[in-house]
Amino acid sequence: MPELPEVETMVRGLRPALVGRTVPRIELHDPFLLQGCTAEEFSRRGRDIKVADVSRRGKWVVIGLVGHEGLIVIQPRMTGGFWLIEPPRLEHIRLTFRLAEPDASVWFCDARRLGKIIWFDDRAQAEAAFARSHGPDALEITRAELAVRLKRTARSIKPTLMDQKVVAGIGNIYADEILFASRIHPTRESSRLTAAELDRLHAAIGPVLATAIAAEGSSFDAGYRTVLGLEGGFLAVNSMYGRAGEPCKGCGSPVEKTKIPGLIGRPTYLCPRCQPVRPSRGKRSTG
């Protein structure tokens, strides 16, 4: 599933292709993904528009329009992504932005049709929808905000980090990397993290995600590619995910692959030495 680094990579790839460009029409190929208006309304609204900006909110791509209060929001979800070159599987195209330049197009594809395409009438409506679905963005959350949100739950820290209503943008791969960087076992109870653990956790989130963005995300199967059809490079430089049995980059112990409660079907990678189940004694407070 595209996480914050993958969606940020999509947004950065889309900006030069869309911002300031005139779009004579938007072609909706699969109304099943559409919310907020009918297919006919979407087709009518999508004629002769100009893109003002392309941004990200959590794992959502937000497209603002010149002279419009409305926003087009696209949720890639499990298998969605954008292409600036003709996609290899044309049957997976769900939406096409036809640009004013001859033969220029931007495609949104989604193999499993799990994504969403939403036309919000105004920015306030979009902000309300985001607030219902997301906590603070992982690149913007403060230590104080993180402490308050973790204090509220007795869940293990890994599924808590992956809860988009707690903090927006972190998924399975990056949760493992963040917890390794902060030397926290993924089953530690969120509300019982020590002040030192919370300091390390908050300090790890930004650098891990920044490294992944610089690598243009993670491709572990055919589900994610950049807008130019390239694989993301993070899994060539990461520390935990997919490295079971390899030496830990911190201590040399074998990386373990396991499963933890609350994450059915999703593997967890950790170093049992760098991330002990029982942390060293210290102040048990998230204050």
Q: How far apart are CA 217 and CA 205, in angstroms?
A: 15
Q: How far apart are CA 172 and CA 131, in angstroms?
A: 22
Active site residue 59: yes
Active site residue 158: no
Say if CB 61 and CB 10 are below 8 A apart: yes
Q: CA geometry: angle at 102 spanning 84 and 87, to 5°?
A: 25
Tokens 């919370």 locate to 198
User: Could you tell me the two tokens for 4?
Assistant: 């914050």
Considering the candidates 2, 5, 76, 186, report the single residue annotated as catalytic.
2
User: Could you tell me the two tokens for 252?
Assistant: 């040399």
Considering the candidates 6, 8, 57, 59, report the single residue annotated as catalytic.
59
Distances (CA, A) of 44 to 27, 32, 37, 39: 10, 17, 11, 9
Say if CB 255 and CB 271 are below 8 A apart: yes
Considering the candidates 12, 266, 272, 276, report the single residue annotated as catalytic.
266
User: Which sequence positions are flagged as catalytic?
Assistant: 2-3, 59, 266
